[in-house]
Amino acid sequence: MKWNLIRVVTTPVALALALAACGSEAPVAAPTASASADEPPLPPVMGAQLRVIALGDSLFAGYGLDPGQSYPARLETALRGRGINAKIMNAGVSGNTTADGLQRLDFTLNSDPAAPALVLISLGGNDMLRGLPPEQTRSNLEAILARLQERKVPVVLMGMIAAPNLGPDYAAKFNPIFPTLAKKYGAALVPFFLQPLLGKPGLIQPDRIHPTAEGIDLMVGQTVEAVARALPAPAKSSAP
């Protein structure tokens, strides 16, 4: 799979945003994936349903937003708008680290007897916020990717960048984790998940941490093509 999908910007603004964006709040349960009653129906699609799991932290959980405004919910709508019959399970939990994601990986994967068509991963930012050793972050992410590779499940990895106050030594160890592992395990890579929000403070909630609904839509617009390419091609009909 291609893994150099979005140009990485390593300005101080980008790195400061990376520090803030993953959710320093206490862990809370992820919101349900059901949309509100006043939301328009999803576009009609054709073909077998593709089950996608979004495993991550507050950037997937949709902290501060209505359930239908989370990244997984809006991504599902965008994919369906392209005629892709995707159903995304939001397995985002605010405050989660890579260790938390690894701990609940098997339970999440086994929540349905059928293997997912794709897993999206947004983990690692809270490891950075807590100053956890990058070696630990890498080990946990590698274990997640290895397990998914064993199950032959494709992955899109949402990358993060270390904040400048952690120092150049920390950044030198943390920043290569995502591209290195994506290349090793054949995962599609979004090098910096929050890049679409750079220079757009109006797309950040008043807490100066989490994207607004409009910010989420911009992130979806910048990543939906990468996700669509990572999904398996629809099975061809055997009918004459």
Looking at the domain assignment, is residue 239 inside a domain?
no
Looking at the domain assignment, is residue 6 inside a domain?
no
Catalytic residue among 57, 58, 100, 217: 58
Is residue 26 very low, low, confident or very high in pLDDT (cuts 50, 70, 90)?
very low
**Is the confidence at residue 34, as pLDDT, over 50?**
no
Looking at the domain assignment, is residue 93 inside a domain?
yes
Bigger pLDDT: 42 vs 11: 42
Q: What is the largest CA-CA distance in the chain?
A: 63
Across the beta sheet with 86-92, the strand order is 86-92, 50-56, 118-122, 155-158, 188-190
Looking at the domain assignment, is residue 201 inside a domain?
yes
The per-type count for the chain, helices as H runs and strands as E runs, is 10, 5
Q: How far apart are the first and last CA of the chain?
A: 32
Q: Following CA atoms 1, 79, 203, 8 in sequence, which dihedral angle do they give, to the nearest 10 degrees?
A: 10
Whole-prediction pTM: 0.83
112 catalytic residue (yes or no): no
Q: What is the CATH number of the domain that holds 132?
A: 3.40.50.1110
pLDDT in tens, 137-183: 999 999 999 999 999 999 999 999 998 899 999 999 999 999 999 99
- The mean per-residue pLDDT over the stretch 70-76 comes to 97
Looking at the domain assignment, is residue 240 inside a domain?
no
Looking at the domain assignment, is residue 37 inside a domain?
no
pLDDT score at 18: 53
Cα–Cα distance for residue pair 178/182, rounded to 1 Å: 6
pLDDT in tens, 220-233: 999 999 999 999 87
207 catalytic residue (yes or no): yes
169 catalytic residue (yes or no): no
Between the alpha carbon of residue 43 and those of residues 63, 83, 106, the distances in Å are 26, 8, 32
Catalytic residue among 66, 106, 112, 207: 207
Q: Following CA atoms 208, 212, 215, 220 in sequence, which dihedral angle do they give, to the nearest 10 degrees?
A: 130
Q: Following CA atoms 151, 153, 156, 161 in sequence, which dihedral angle do they give, to the nearest 10 degrees?
A: 0
The vertex-75 CA angle with 176 and 67, nearest 5°, equals 110
Looking at the domain assignment, is residue 39 inside a domain?
no
Looking at the domain assignment, is residue 111 inside a domain?
yes
Joined tokens for residue 235: 């099975």
Which range of residues forms the domain containing residue 189? 12-32+45-230
Tell me how many domains the chain contains: 1
Catalytic residue among 70, 94, 100, 210: 210
CB-based contacts of 132, cutoff 8 Å, min separation 6: 97
**Is the confidence at residue 99, as pLDDT, over 90?**
yes
Question: What are the start-end ranges of the H helices in the chain?
Answer: 12-20, 58-61, 71-81, 98-103, 105-109, 125-129, 134-150, 168-174, 177-185, 213-230
